[in-house]
Amino acid sequence: MTIGVSVFLLAVGAILKFAVSDTIEGVDLGVIGIILMVCGVIGLLFGLLQMANARRTGVPPAYPDPRYQDPRY
């Protein structure tokens, strides 16, 4: 789940929880809004963790391995 989808779920959940006053028999829109907001927060956290881990993997080592030095030097 990307960060954009997570923000979308948060927005839809907040709208259902706080802005919609209609009622549907057998369906509590407030509870559905809370569920969507919780899913959005979880997805946002996973997306941010995934983005933070992706940034760390491409970093070259601070001290190059002497076995792999260029033979021209």
pLDDT score, position 41: 96
Q: Which helix (H) or strand (E) holds 29?
A: helix 29-57
Q: Are 13 and 37 in contact (CB under 8 A)?
A: yes
Torsion angle, alpha carbons of 16, 20, 21, 25, to 10: -50
**What global pTM score does this model have?**
0.71
Residue with the bigger pLDDT between 55 and 22: it is: 22
pLDDT in tens, 42-71: 999 999 998 887 766 655 666 666 676 666
